[in-house]
């Protein structure tokens, strides 16, 4: 398997920037990893906050422990700022993943060509 394929698979299946680490492009890989980790952190914090709000409302008796009521509350509970931050974080994460795959493949392909 070529280095380009290995690097693209690592960046696509493991984490953005992992393929760059294989290719010894540590700065690029680190930037992608830090950006993806930051976006993942925002997404996870948003999910945890929303979950804790639902659990608090269930514990206080505001909503019954019914699947339909919980689903309705979750659908209606996100605020505009939280929604924007979560959507932006998802876009950043997807962009990091896509850029990581394409760039790792491009760099690996160039490295494979030098070996020929």
The total number of structural domains in the chain stands at 1
23-80 tens-digit pLDDT:
999 999 999 999 999 999 999 998 898 888 888 888 998 888 788 878 887 777 665 5
pLDDT of residue 9: 95
- Residue numbers of the domain that contains 89: 3-115
10-25 tens-digit pLDDT:
999 999 999 999 999 9
Distance CA 17, CA 20 (A): 5
pLDDT of residue 36: 97
Distance CA 23, CA 30 (A): 12
98-114 tens-digit pLDDT:
999 999 999 999 998 98
Distance CA 90, CA 79 (A): 16
């Amino acid at each position: 398997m070529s280095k380009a394929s290995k690097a693209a698979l690592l960046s696509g299946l493991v984490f953005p920037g992992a393929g760059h680490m294989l290719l010894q492009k540590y700065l690029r890989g680190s930037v992608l990893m830090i950006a993806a980790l930051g976006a993942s952190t925002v997404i996870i914090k948003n999910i945890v906050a929303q979950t804790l709000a639902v659990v608090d409302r269930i514990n206080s008796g505001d909503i019954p422990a019914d699947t339909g009521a919980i689903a309705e509350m979750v659908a209606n509970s996100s605020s505009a700022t939280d929604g924007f931050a979560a959507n932006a974080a998802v876009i950043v994460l997807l962009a990091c993943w896509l850029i990581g795959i394409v760039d790792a493949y491009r760099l690996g392909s160039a490295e494979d060509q030098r070996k020929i």
